[in-house]
Amino acid sequence: MPRVPSEAAAYIGARIADARKRMGVSQDWLAATSGIDSSNIRSYESGRAMVSVHTLVRIADALDAPPGDFLDGLTLDLFGGPAGERKKVS
């Protein structure tokens, strides 16, 4: 299944990159510490791939941050397209 980038992926990725840089660690360190391939870390941080919940928790654990910190401020409109549109509830 191809990965489709979105503003949401870029938003979360930027928050991961910011937290990593604040800690003063490299992408390779984050990869080794979280057990996630470094190419995936680069894809997440650049917004080329959407991180799964399980992976986000692993990254958050490595960065000693609550997983919710990476989602704070995320809104439906960042997902774009039909998947990001709000549906009326009858």
The Cα-based distances of 4 to 35, 48, 77 in angstroms read 23, 7, 16
3-state DSSP assignment of residue 36: coil
pLDDT at residue 6, as a whole number: 86
Closest of 24, 17, 32, 34 to residue 69, by C-alpha: 17
* Confidence (pLDDT) at 71: 97
Percentage of the chain surpassing pLDDT 70?
84
Residues near 59 by Cβ (< 8 Å), separated by ≥ 6? 16, 30, 34, 36, 41, 44, 51, 70
Domains of the chain: 7-70 (1.10.260.40)
Residue ranges of the chain whose pLDDT lies below 70: 1-4, 81-90
Output the pLDDT for position 12.
97
pLDDT at position 90: 44
pLDDT at 21: 98
Residue 10 confidence (pLDDT): 94
Q: What is the pLDDT of residue 3?
A: 54
Q: What is the pLDDT of residue 88?
A: 47
CB 14 within 8 A of CB 48: no
